[in-house]
Structure 1
Amino acid sequence: MTHKLTLQAIEPVTHNVNHLVFDRPAGYEFAPGQATDFALDRDGWREEQRPFTFCNLPGSDTLEFVIKSYPSHDGVTEQIAKLQPGDTVLIEDAWGAIEDKGPGTFIAGGAGITPFIAILRARLDREGTLDGSQLIFSNTEARDIILREEWERMPGLDTTFTLTGEDAPGLPHARIDAGFLDRTVKDWSGMFYVCGPDKMVEDIAGLLRDKDVPAARIVSEEARGGPRPGVLVKRAGND
C-alpha cells in the first residue's frame, strides 16, 4: 500500500547525510531495523523507488530516516537532500529481515549503519543500557561517521570506529579483516549483526563462519535470502 508523507524537518547529520522527519500515517507499522520503498512525489520521480531504513522508535508519531546523498550522480538521493519542509514523498509498507535478536556485535560499513539505528535506540529505550553490545563501524574518513557522538554516549555500548581512507587521531586505519576481528570482538558467543556493501557483508560472513559462528547467530538480509536495506541505501546513490 502506498502512503504519502509530508516532510516536517530536514537537518544535516554529516557533510553528505541528512536526518528527515515526516508525519506518520495512521496505522502505519514497522519494527526496528525495517525499511520501506521510498519515492519522491514529483513528476518523473514517482517510479524511482529506493529502499531506506526507519531510524526512529516504532512508538513515535513521526517516520524518520537518515539518508546519505550522492550529489555527483544527479539521482534520487541528490533530490532528497534538496527537499524542504512541506514537500511530499511516497512510501510503501515496511519490510526487511534485520531485527533485534538480543545483545551482540553490530558490524556496519558506511550507510549500512542505518538498520542498527532504530534497533539500538529501541533496545536502549527498553532496557536502559546496551550492556553486552558492541558496535564496529567502518567508514572512509572520520567525517563520514554517522551519529558518532550518539553511539559514544549510549550507556553500555562498546564502540570501535575504523577508517579505510585516512589516518585520524585515536582511530584505527584498517579494514575489517580476520585480524581486526580477532583484536576487536569482545564476545564470540553472542549474536552478530552485519550490514554494509555487498563484498563487505560477504567477507565478514565468511570470517564469522571461519570462527565457527553458526548461521543462527548471524543477522543480515542476506542470511534470510533477501536484500539488505543498508546496502540498498548505499546503492541508491549510484543513480
Structure 2
Amino acid sequence: MANYRLKILEITPVTHDVNRYKVEKPRGYQFTPGQATEVSLLQAGWEAEKRPFTFTNLPSDDHLEFIIKSYDDHEGVTKRLASLSVGDEVEIGDPWGTISFKGEGVFIAGGAGITPFISILRHLRKKNQVGKSILIFANKTNDDIILFEELKAILGHKFINIIAKQKDTAYDKGLVDQAYLKSKISDFDQHFYVCGPPGFMKAVTSSLKTLGADPDTLVFEQ
C-alpha cells in the first residue's frame, strides 16, 4: 500500500467546527466518489495515528479535498488538524471504501456522516444525473448543517433537514426514526445510502428494514 506526503494548499471554515482542507493530489491518483483514505499528521508522536476521512472533491479535480469536523473535547487527530496551516504536510494512503453510487435513491446522513455523499452528489450534478434522489440530513442545530447552500442548489426541495436540539428551527424537529422515515418516503423499493455515528446507522438501517427495504439495497460503510 502506497503512502503520499502532501502539502496543505488551503484551509477554510465550513461551519463553527468543520473545516475544508484542500491538499495536493499525487500524479495519477484516482478514487471513486464516496471513497476514503487514511490520513496521518507529520508531527512528532502523531505519524502512526491514522484516521479515515472521505474525499469530498470530484475525481477530475487537480487537488484533493477533505471536509472534517474537529472534536475539541479530546486531544485527537481532528483537533490537531484544525491547528495546521497552509504549507504543512499530511500523509495519505490509497483510496478504499464500500460507499458508492448504485442508482437513484435516498441518502440519509447524520452530522459529519454527510461527507461520503458530498463527492457523490457533486459528481451526479456534474453529469446531470441527480434525478429523483433525495437527501435527509440530521443535525443537532441549524449551525451544524454542512454545505447547506451547495446541497440546496444540487437537490432543491429534495434536500430535507431534521434538527434534534434547536427548538426554534424552521426545519423538521426530532430524530430520524421509523415514524419519520415512513412520513418522508413512500417507496422502500429503492437504494438507501446511510452514513453517520454508529447509533444513528444502527437505528436507521433497522427502521428501513422494518419498513420493507431490501437489505441488499442498503449502502453503508462495512
TM norm structure 1: 0.89
- 1:127-146 to structure 2, matched below 5 A, reads 128-146=128-146
Counterpart Cα distance in 2 of 1:155 and 1:77: 29
Name the aligned partner's letter for residue 173 of structure 1.
K
Q: Is residue 162–residue 171 contact of structure 1 (8 Å, CA) maintained in 2?
A: yes
Which residue is equivalent to 2:184? 184
Which residue is equivalent to 2:96? 95
- 1:58-97 to structure 2, matched below 5 A, reads 58-97=59-98
Name the aligned partner's letter for residue 183 of structure 1.
S
Deviation at 1:169, TM superposition (A): 3.4
Structure 1 runs, 4 residues or longer, greater than 6 Å off: none
Deviation at 1:214, TM superposition (A): 0.9
- 1:1-239 to structure 2, matched below 5 A, reads 1-126=2-127, 128-155=128-155, 158-221=158-221, 226=222
Counterpart Cα distance in 2 of 1:43 and 1:19: 24
Deviation at 1:72, TM superposition (A): 2.5
Counterpart Cα distance in 2 of 1:70 and 1:210: 33
Deviation at 1:129, TM superposition (A): 4.8
The percentage of aligned residue pairs carrying the same residue is 42
Counterpart Cα distance in 2 of 1:18 and 1:62: 16
Uncovered stretches (5+) of structure 2, i.e. residues with no partner = none
SS class of match (1:216): helix
Uncovered stretches (5+) of structure 1, i.e. residues with no partner = 227-239
Summarize deviations over 1:94-142 as a string: whole Å, max 9, x none: 000000111110000011101000011101111x252211100101111
Counterpart Cα distance in 1 of 2:67 and 2:9: 14
Q: Is residue 107–residue 192 contact of structure 1 (8 Å, CA) maintained in 2?
A: yes
RMSD: 1.2
Name the aligned partner's letter for residue 116 of structure 2.
P
- Structure with the larger RCO, 1 or 2 (CA within 8 Å, 6+ apart): 1
